[in-house]
Structure 1
Amino acid sequence: MIDMRSILGGLIDAGLAPSTSQRIEHALKTPQADGGSLLSRITAAAGQAASDTKQQAQAGNPVAIGGLGALAGAILGGAKGSAARGALGGAALALLGQIAYQALQGRLPGAAAGRSGAGAAGEDLPLGVREPKTPGEEAVLRSRSQILLQAMINAAKADGQIDGREMDRILSKLDEAGADQEAKDFVLAEMRRPLDLEGLAAQVEAPDLAAEVYAASLLAIEVDTPAERSYLDRLATTLELTPAARQHIESVLGVKAAAV
């Protein structure tokens, strides 16, 4: 069975857009409603101080590697190897879930309740940070990972098909992540498919997942061409994202607002 979380981690590490890592870093450092940053919240939740996240990830600390600490460590230049790539996938799920949770709070009551926002220290770690405990949780993570993978690859096609050189670069990153041939074939097939916004949106059945899909799409493109902005406009409309939720997601990821 394909490990969708590891593939997601491989794509995050590959950086579908030049700004992928900068967007993640911006999200980690964005102040939250309580005045702290997402980085401080997730490191507290993982039992790690912000100052030693990188060192713990490099040292292979299972708490850091097993959750959002891996994502922060990789962005700071720490996590390496296939174990880290697998952790990056879970970490990305938790990060995107937190962004979605914050985007919907106060805008769609109850929509994001109980999902993957990173809690304060002492709370149960959310899916993505911790391993699934039941077959049902595993199925949820697998499904979400696949949809977010498809969202990123779909967005990368917004201003044209992914060319052969870019495909080779991404597949090379998946090799580094220890992806097997089945996983690489899946990604290659997705990259070769025509852009299918409606097919992607049809899989999104909840507002919080819609927000995650939009956030994941922003990690895959620069948003510096009319075609990319048009794609995002159509995606937001199809996913029925409110303007306020969309603005929040773009702000957290450091995406400049479109010119009026």
Structure 2
Amino acid sequence: MFDASKLINEILGATNGTGQTTTGNQANSGDLLQRGRDYLSNNAGGIGGGAIAGGLAGYMMGSKKGRKMAKKAATYGGLALVAGLAYKAYSDYQGKKAGVPVVDGQIGRGENTIPASMHQTQGSQQKLSHVPVVPMGSGFEVNEMTERATGVGATLVSAMIAAAKADGQIDTAEHKAIFDKIEELQLSSEEKLFLFDQLNKPLDIDGLVAQTRTKEQAVEVYMASLMAIEPDTPSEQAYLTMLAARLGLEPELVSQIHQTLIEAED
């Protein structure tokens, strides 16, 4: 059984490492952070720094971005969270395109990469109280097909892992530490093999884009990628810029995705 939503929860730190969803009193963001720190401090081979501290392992064990989204992922389910936020961003973008002026689009206007300021809260910030339910026929709906290893859910997991690897190479010792962590999780053999395969393969934007068949899926892929990282390094910003271009996302739509995720962060 392949559960894409469960894998997204793990990457965001929305489970406690035993396959149980964390909500309310089960685990707060401080618990997630401490667990990550304990794991990192107890493993040798440069585990405390470099790519792993800011890469996939850090996010699976409670990164800054993961802590912001973990509660919502546990509440809604990882796949429903990505779909709902992507749906809202796309709907808001279409609404603005239909008549409301867009004043915050920045990509493609003299910028070579996504500016770091795009994903920073500017002054008073409206917060998203709930993630909208995705209507049937919208192109964002979650169903049995999207949860499968060949469905869009698996593509979203691939997108998150690719984004987490975008800021540098992970060495052999760091790979082993990540794999050991995955082995501890209560995942099916199919799910573990999928994660191992995604971690081992070279960064491949073209392959990721090839799995994206609709505009709605493209928005979801970008949203999932953004959820997996804190885009505060030039390499991450360049990766997101290239991903947006290859997915064919308009500058204003990219800006709206960033804005929607900021509003959703606790």
The 1:170–1:215 alpha-carbon spacing in structure 2 relative to 1, beyond 3 Å, is: farther
The answer to whether the Cα contact below 8 Å between 1:100 and 1:212 also exists between their aligned partners in 2 is: no
Instruction: Tell me, yes or no, if the aligned pair for 1:5 and 1:89 is still in contact at 8 Å.
Output: yes
Tell me, yes or no, if structure 1 residue 168 matches structure 2 residue 182: no
- Whether 1:159 and 2:167 are equivalent positions in the alignment is yes
Q: Does 1:139 align with 2:153?
A: no
Which of 189, 192, 214 is residue 184 of structure 1 equivalent to?
192
% identical equivalent positions: 33
Contact 2:218 2:247 in 1 (8 A): yes
- 8 Å contact from structure 1 (residues 103, 249) kept in 2: no
SS of the residue corresponding to residue 254 of structure 1 reads helix
Per the alignment, residue 20 of structure 1 pairs with: 65
**Matches of 1:202 and 1:105, distance apart in 2:** 24
Q: 1:11, 1:174 within 8 Å by CA — same for their partners in 2?
A: no
Unaligned runs of 5+ in 2: 14-56, 99-130
Tell whether 2:124 aligns with 1:118. no
Deviation at 1:223, TM superposition (A): 1.1
Note the C-alpha offset of 1:228: 0.9
Question: 1:211·1:241 contact (CA, 8 Å) conserved in 2?
Answer: yes
Alignment partner, residue 88 of structure 1: 77
Hey, what does 2:3 align to over in structure 1? 3
Amino acid in structure 2 at the alignment position of 1:165? E
What's 2:90 paired with?
A: 101
Cα separation, 1, equivalents of 2:88 and 2:203: 25
TM-score under structure 2 length normalisation: 0.57
In structure 2, do the counterparts of structure 1 residues 96 and 254 end up closer, same or farther at CA, with 3 Å as the change threshold? closer
Q: Which residue of 2 aligns with 1:228?
A: 236
Alignment of 1:204-223 (within 5 A): 204-223=212-231
Provide closer, same or farther for how the CA distance between residues 205 and 162 of structure 1 changes in structure 2, counting only shifts above 3 A. same
Structure-1-length-normalised TM-score: 0.58
CA distance in 2, matches of 1:172, 1:157: 16
3-state SS, counterpart of residue 233 of structure 1: helix
Answer 1 or 2: higher relative contact order, Cα 8 Å, separation at least 6.
Answer: 2
- Aligned equivalents of 1:104 and 1:92: distance in 2? 18
Note if contact 2:165-2:203 (Cα within 8 Å) is conserved in structure 1: yes
- Alignment-mate amino acid for residue 24 of structure 1: M
